[in-house]
Amino acid sequence: MQCTREYLDDIVLEWFGLSADPFDDPANPEDLYLSPANISAEKAMREAVRRRHLLAICGEPGSGKSALLRRFISKAQNEQLVRVIEPASLDRRHITARTLAVAILRVLIQRDTSPMGSEAQSELLQAALREQVASGMFPVLIMDEAHLLQTSALLAVKQLWDSSSAYKHLSVCLVGHLALANALRANPAIRELGGRTKVVEMQAMFNPKAARGHGADVATAYLDWRLSKVGADVRTIFDDLAIQEIARRGEYPLWINNLSVRAMQYAHAAGDKLVLAEHVGRV
């Protein structure tokens, strides 16, 4: 399945009477369709932060990991109870426990501590994290695209989390493709990290084998949620057989979005005002 996001152009939008692209990202990151997979993963994230645990959110490209992460960060910032540490400039190729400490301290105290000695830096990190916890905050280190991390980097994450300076002061959330889950479960070099990390795999929105039943119902609800954002109704855009075909082929949100966009483009090209199963079948 193509995982590069597809967009509707103005000509197609006008053809279907839409004021905006319903499949574009919402302006508010908290505006997310809460499928059972999203609800379960979000609950796991909040629990890991509250208990200062290690967590890995893994899934196929397009399964909704990034959207869920954006929602979590936005809610954390609004609630002002979770201190999100998401180092933007961290070089994933040369991550060590020390570079992680520098990145965390840069967020927490707004200072570059790279010139400091290791012991002084460790003490400063411990004090900064203790201060966060004492103020009622829950610091969480978030590392997106974590499937790109080398074994040495994953070991550095474990070392930082499990050190006397950070243990029970910091939670860690790794987000990445299924390769990350496989590494945590099967790579003997990071057995200790894998053994202490809760792995949550993003599940499909529905079972494609049940497309004519529950799957089609979920696809209808999702598409209706999307179209309602621009004041439209799913039944005015897609017929039932088209929705069933989308449900049969699109397990994850981005897959459904792209199938729908391409099918709408084919319907416009054919001069049809309603998306039919044959249009979805051409994708």
pLDDT digits (tens, 9 = 90+) for 119-162: 899 889 989 999 999 999 999 999 999 999 999 999 999 888 88
Q: How sure is the predictor about 166, in pLDDT bands with cuts at 50, 70 and 90? A: low
- Whether residue 31 is predicted with pLDDT greater than 50 in this model: the reply is yes
Q: How sure is the predictor about 209, in pLDDT bands with cuts at 50, 70 and 90? A: low
Bridging pattern class, strands 54-58 and 138-143: unpaired
Sign of CA dihedral 104, 109, 114, 120: negative
- Whether residue 211 is predicted with pLDDT greater than 50 in this model: the reply is no
What confidence tens digit (pLDDT) does each residue in 231-266 have? 999 999 999 999 999 988 888 899 999 999 999 999
Give the mean pLDDT of the chain: 90
Is the same domain home to 165 and 242?
no
- Looking at 141, 169, 201, the residue that finishes a domain is 201
- Whether residue 40 is predicted with pLDDT greater than 80 in this model: the reply is yes
Domain that holds residue 249: 10-19+205-281
Q: What is the structure's pLDDT at 189?
A: 93
Higher-pLDDT residue of 269, 162: 269
Which pTM was predicted?
A: 0.88
**What CATH number is attached to the domain comprising 96?**
3.40.50.300
Number of structural domains, the chain? 2
Is the same domain home to 49 and 181?
yes
Tokens for 93?
């190729």
